[in-house]
Amino acid sequence: MSTNAKVRVATVWLSGCSGCHMSFLDQDERLVDLAKKITLVYSPLVDVKEFPENVDVTLIEGAVANEEQLAMLKKVRGRTKILVSLGDCAVTGNVTALRNSWRHSDQAVLERAYKDPADLNAAVPTAVPKLLIKARPLHEIVKVDFYIPGCPPHADLINYVLTELLAGRAPVMEGRSKYG
Amino acid sequence: MIKDDKRRAMLEKVLKEHDYQESALLEILHRAQEIYGYLDKELLMDISGSLNLPPSHVYGVVTFYSFFKLKKSGEHVVTGCLGTACYVNEVEQILEAIEQEFDLKRGGSTADGKLSLLLTRCIGACAMAPNIVVDYEVIGKATKELVIQKIKQALGGVKAETS
Amino acid sequence: MSTNTVKLKIDGVDVTAAEGTTILKAAKDVGIIIPTLCSLEGLTAYGGCRLCLVEVSGTPKLFPACTTPIGPGMDVTTQSDKLKEYRKIAVQLLLAERTHICSVCVADDHCELQAMANQLGVDHVMFERNWSREEIDSTHDFLVIDRNRCILCTRCIRVCDQIEGVHTLDLKLRGKDSQVIMDLDEKWGNSCSCTSCRKCAKVCPVGAIYVEGEPIEHTKKRDVAEFIVERRNRK
Amino acid sequence: MAQELEFQNAYKYRINVCCSSGCVPFGALKVLKAFEDAVKEFGVEKECKVARTGCIGTCSVGPAVLVEPGDYLYQSVTPERVREIVRDHIVLGLPVKDMLYERNAYFKKQHRLVLRNAGKIDPSRIQDYINMGGYGGLLKCLTDTPQAVINELIASGLRGRGGAGFPTGQKWSLVARAQNSPKYIVANLDEGDPGVFANRTLAEADPHAIIEGMLIAAYAIGAEKGYIYIRSEYPLAIQTLQKAIAQAKAMTLLGESILETPFKFDLELRFGAGAFVAGEETAILASVEGKRAMPRPRPPYPANSGLWQKPTLIQNVETLANIPLIIQNGGAWFAKTGTPKCTGTKCFSLTGKVNNPGLIEVPMGITLREVVFDVGGGVPDGKKFKAVLVGGPSGGCLPDTLLDIPIDYDSLVKVGAIMGSGGIVVLDEDSCMVDTARFFTEFCVDESCGKCTPCRAGLARLKDVFGKITNGAGEMSDITTLEKSSSFIRDGSLCGLGQTAPNPVITTLRYFKDEYIQHIVEKRCDAGKCFKSRGEEEIE
């Protein structure tokens, strides 16, 4: 990685609770050091609408649960050098994937969310993107380069992985990562 | 069904023949299935008590082996052979045809309980593959048409010949 | 116990142990911990999880340390790239086999499978997961079994038979369909032989069997079998 | 006995009607009855004996009838044409040419030791077996020391026919040396491989060969009790064996003081119940003890701690049927057949897309090409040969380029196949190798006992991956997943089932990788087997 140009980093939020992003922010004062080395080119934390080209590292939180996210993931993969699954939802499906055990859950959860609680005119809004039959972890759809498990992953672990990647090293997860 | 004294007496004879030995469990289950047709929980509890074996052990053994049946099967039974030779000779197509024609799924029975479609891993008549067994008759080098005709015959009350 | 001793090498360390000792035990005695899931001291060895496979020089075969007795002159390797790779696959297979979601599991942070995955660096599962959907049986007064989290290690079955002595638990069916059952596959609340001793919950390495309402760290006393065996031998 | 021999020799002709499981479903019993009637009708019952025999080997053209002398083999005999055979062949001495089986190709390269009596004797008559020299091996061994019997076996070089090929003599020595008693023998007749029927045929055709083999083994290792573990799906074999055991008992060949010597041996049948894994050495023991057929780790080996923790010899029935011959003729004589490292013959169930399917027995060292094209007569309907699966559902799929390897334990293992229980299935151009691997994987998923992780969970995931590939959702990374998990299942499984289960996957990946790539990249299956929906479950 070039020494003068800052590393272009993005974070993406798919089907997750945003806890992983909170954990990212929990890096606290280390974020200041990080900011010297990276530019956050896309993130729920910054106001950029379109995912940019030529991103060096993208951290993705959340599983892929609907068609919009599926398209997003593919776009991100196409524009990113190093893709990192951030947190259990991205790595395993986690809570988002709890519905996978039931057949036709793609329909059932929508009905539970929109139809069952409604008193009048119960209907699933058409603006909601179509759910996939199963919520999936990222690597079942695109190639993922590194994984940071955890629900949420500890800020130290996120910091470790970023530090290693910025130094051009592959992080070693043995004995470091922790599911749940 | 245990209450049926005649059959229980036959079972008792079998138990006695084997001296109520734990190690004879498989033999006793075989004979019990011959006597009763299938092995329901009441019967298994009876056997478990007679052999002084834990019920979970007996249940574990019964369900481990695919030969033992916990439920009654249909009046007529069609058994498709899923052996290698039959597979290579397209037994799958015949099974699909049976499922469609009689509206049942493999492993299950028709709604009226007249016909069951079971699968077996090999009946050993590989040189005549594909094989389908309709009640007791083995149909070698079977075709869809032939098998369906035979099943219809069996269902129509014309008892399939036993060989 | 035979008084004959056997000399061997484990990871290059010279070891002397009594004849008949397993590789697992001999290694542990010199501080080499071989990963295991189904093995538990106080219960008979099972040899099912395959985490404890080790290499023995002179043969390409792998040996389960929990059941293989030591032999004179053996040269055992407990860590190698191949073993590491295989152990990671084994853990991935267990994670993919049923519905394991740590964040919503009662045994989160007290789970041997989770700890094993963390320790071995299993940071993702290469297999598509099989989202099992077994009904949770909470009919017992306080014991609960969630078979979606079961890894079929049979510790519960062994402790029920060998320590408690009632053999309420066993396996039904076979292969991937295997399940832990009570009596004739009854609901736990209807089991006539269960003594509600909780040992199954104590030794369960995961969150499949637990005590409702009890803090998990109180339930999971996995050395209970070893403890009882020791006490009985003292008499 | 001499009287019996004379009685048999009095016949000028002998009509052997195959009444084994292969021929009975196709009317063999009616043919037998028709022959008995016709012989009476023509008044030749004094010079022509009609015998009910075991398998003649040509199972695809049953019912088969063998007329001696001259070994005239009639195929697809119907009751209607029986009169014609009796009239022309027996009365007039003119064989009915149009019904004769063209036997040169099929039998020329075969060498029948194990099946020496198959189709030639009436398996329900112990006298028939004795007339062929049966129980001579037992008589001879009883005058010898057990060690001398074992030495003869070691000299013969015989290896276990159950699949792994462990030297039989060595195995016997181990059990003989074991200190504990009593000792047991378990004869394995749990032929669970789909597409394999050699053991059943042997039991139906020549049950006493198995019993004599067990007796000799019992004498050599000092066992007093034996079990024959047989599939319950083999009713005719069970009946035949039950009858044979009763006859042997009646002639003091079984029981206390056998042939008025101090040697005693008792024999019982035990029935399997539909579990392929029960054929595994330690699983069969659990099953004989009435438990779930779950294998256990070795050591301890059954030779020291088998049935009820006592020393136990487990032997496939085909191995046992070789024993009487070895004792009668000597180990050196036996070692002349086959190859130096792999002596004797092997029975194979030859099936699939081949002109002459059936039960064959060939000398070890014969090439696969000879088996498929000479004995088997090649692929029918002018189709192209594609692969041959050797060793049952956990065997290897070998392409044309490997057909010239000799059949022996070591050569087969080298190319990824196994001897297994002796199943050879020929596949032609209409077969899809990906689908074939999927089929066998599914078989092993169903038959896995569930004890160890690689076999239980690993095979199930392999099946998922195959589901994906054959439904059009395959990715190139799936090949890596298949390869990695296959090698773990092979190296990490507890028993032989798991260790060999990935063989079809490994060999098809090795020899037919192009087909996988075609399925994954082009979503194309030239054989037209894949990309059909297999029900909702797997589409998900």
Whether A14 is covered by a domain: the verdict is yes
- Is the pLDDT at B4 greater than 90? The verdict is no
Nearest CA to CA, how far is B9 from chain D (Å)? 22
- Partners of A101 on chain C (C-beta within 8 Å) are 99, 131-133, 148
pLDDT in tens, B90-119: 898 999 999 999 999 888 889 888 999 988
Judge contact between D278 and D287, C-beta under 8 A: yes
Helix (H) or strand (E) holding D34: helix D28-41
Nearest CA to CA, how far is A5 from chain C (Å)? 31
Percent of chain B with pLDDT over 90: 56
The pairing of beta strand D342-343 with beta strand D338-339? antiparallel
- Partners of C88 on chain A (C-beta within 8 Å) are none
Chain C contact for B159 (CB, 8 A cutoff)? no
Higher pLDDT, B88 or C6: C6
Structure tokens at D116: 């020496």
In chain D, the domains with their CATH numbers are 2-104 (3.40.30.10), 133-336 (3.40.50.11540), 342-428 (3.10.20.600), 433-539 (1.20.1440.230)
- Is the pLDDT at B161 greater than 90? The verdict is no
Which residue is it, tokens 């487990």? Answer: D314
Q: Please give the backbone phi and psi of residue B109, each rounded to the nearest 5 degrees, phi first.
A: -125, 165
Half-sphere exposure of A126 (CA within 13 A, CB side): 0
Whether A112 is covered by a domain: the verdict is no
- Is the pLDDT at B163 greater than 60? The verdict is no
Please report, for residues D340, D355, D366, the alpha-carbon distance to residue D331 in angstroms, rounded to integers and kept in the order given.
12, 36, 21
Gap between the Cα atoms of D106 and D357, Å rounded:
9
Structure tokens at D147: 């060690």
Q: Check: CATH 1.10.10 for B5-64?
A: yes
Q: What is the CB neighbour count within 10 angstroms for residue D70?
A: 10
The pairing of beta strand A7-13 with beta strand A38-42? parallel
- Partners of A143 on chain D (C-beta within 8 Å) are 477
Virtual torsion, Cα D198, D200, D201, D202, nearest 10 deg? 90
- Is the pLDDT at D540 greater than 90? The verdict is no
- Specify the pLDDT at position C61: 95
Range of the domain at A48: 7-97+132-166
The pairing of beta strand D266-271 with beta strand D225-230? parallel
Q: Do C168 and B59 touch (CB under 8 A)?
A: no
CATH architecture of C86-234: 2-Layer Sandwich (3.30)
Chain C contact for D491 (CB, 8 A cutoff)? yes
Q: What is the mean pLDDT of residues B70-75?
A: 86
pLDDT in tens, D201-229: 999 999 999 999 999 999 999 999 999 99
Q: Do C171 and B60 touch (CB under 8 A)?
A: yes
Gap between the Cα atoms of D328 and D338, Å rounded:
18
Structure tokens at A127: 């603006």
Sign of the alpha-carbon torsion through D305, D306, D311, D313: negative
- Is the pLDDT at B144 greater than 80? The verdict is yes
- Considering only the beta carbons, identify the residue of C67, C68, C175 that sits closest to D456: C175
Q: Do A92 and C125 touch (CB under 8 A)?
A: yes
Q: Which of B69-78, D5-14, D96-105, D293-302 has the lowest mean pLDDT?
A: D5-14
Q: Do D488 and C45 touch (CB under 8 A)?
A: no
Q: Do C172 and B54 touch (CB under 8 A)?
A: no
Half-sphere exposure of B29 (CA within 13 A, CB side): 35
Looking at the DSSP bridge assignments, the partners of residue C186 are C182
Q: In chain C, what is the greatest distance between 2 CA atoms, to the nearest angstrom?
A: 54
Judge contact between C209 and C110, C-beta under 8 A: no
Q: What is the CB neighbour count within 10 angstroms for residue C111?
A: 25
Structure tokens at D445: 């998923």
DSSP letters along D185-206, please? Answer: EEEEE---STT--HHHHHHHH-
Fold match between C5-78 and C86-234?
no
- Is the pLDDT at B162 greater than 60? The verdict is no
Gap between the Cα atoms of D458 and D256, Å rounded:
50
Whether A115 is covered by a domain: the verdict is no
Q: What is the pTM of this model?
A: 0.93
DSSP letters along D1-19, please? Answer: -HHHHHHHHT-SEEEEEE-
What does the mean pLDDT of chain C come to? 96
- Specify the pLDDT at position D4: 57
Q: What is the mean pLDDT of residues D46-50?
A: 92
Q: Please give the backbone phi and psi of residue C17, each rounded to the nearest 5 degrees, phi first.
A: -145, 165
3-state class (DSSP) for residue A105 = helix
What does the mean pLDDT of chain A come to? 94
- Considering only the beta carbons, identify the residue of B44, B45, B59 that sits closest to C170: B59
Chain D contact for C14 (CB, 8 A cutoff)? no
Whether A43 is covered by a domain: the verdict is yes
ipTM tops 0.90: yes
pLDDT in tens, D359-383: 999 999 999 999 999 999 999 999 9
Residue-wise over D178-209: b if at least 16 C-beta within 10 A, else e? Answer: beeeebbbbbbbbbbbbbbbbbbbbbbbbbbb
- Which of C81, C92, C101, C120 is the best residue to mutate to test the A interface, defined by the most A CB atoms within 10 Å of its own CB? C101
Q: Please give the backbone phi and psi of residue D489, each rounded to the nearest 5 degrees, phi first.
A: -65, -40
- Considering only the beta carbons, identify the residue of D27, D275, D357 that sits closest to B126: D357
Q: What is the mean pLDDT of residues A27-52?
A: 95
- Specify the pLDDT at position D532: 78
Nearest CA to CA, how far is A99 from chain D (Å)? 13
Residue of B37, B153, B139 whose CA lies nearest to B95: B139
Which residue is it, tokens 């780790």? Answer: D297
Q: Do C176 and D457 touch (CB under 8 A)?
A: yes
- Partners of B44 on chain C (C-beta within 8 Å) are 184
Gap between the Cα atoms of D313 and D172, Å rounded:
7
- Specify the pLDDT at position D536: 40
The class (CATH top level) of B76-155 is: alpha beta
Chains contacting B (3 or more CB pairs within 8 Å): C, D
Nearest CA to CA, how far is B89 from chain C (Å)? 27
Q: How many B/D residue pairs have CB atoms within 8 Å?
A: 141
pLDDT in tens, B24-39: 999 999 999 999 989 9
Judge contact between C199 and C164, C-beta under 8 A: yes
Nearest CA to CA, how far is D157 from chain A (Å)? 51
Assign residue A43 the CATH number of its domain: 3.40.50.700
Whether A53 is covered by a domain: the verdict is yes
Q: Do D292 and B27 touch (CB under 8 A)?
A: no
pLDDT in tens, C186-223: 999 999 999 999 999 999 999 999 999 999 999 999 99
Q: Please give the backbone phi and psi of residue D482, each rounded to the nearest 5 degrees, phi first.
A: -60, -45
- Specify the pLDDT at position A4: 61
Q: Where are the domains of chain B?
A: 5-64, 76-155
Task: Give the angle C100-C103-C109 at the CA atoms, nearest 5°.
Answer: 90
- Is the pLDDT at A25 greater than 50? The verdict is yes
- Is the pLDDT at D534 greater than 70? The verdict is no
What's the topology of domain C5-78?
A: Ubiquitin-like (UB roll) (3.10.20)
Contacts of D125 (CB under 8 A, 6+ apart): none
Q: What is the DSSP letter of B149?
A: H
Q: What is the CB neighbour count within 10 angstroms for residue D250?
A: 11
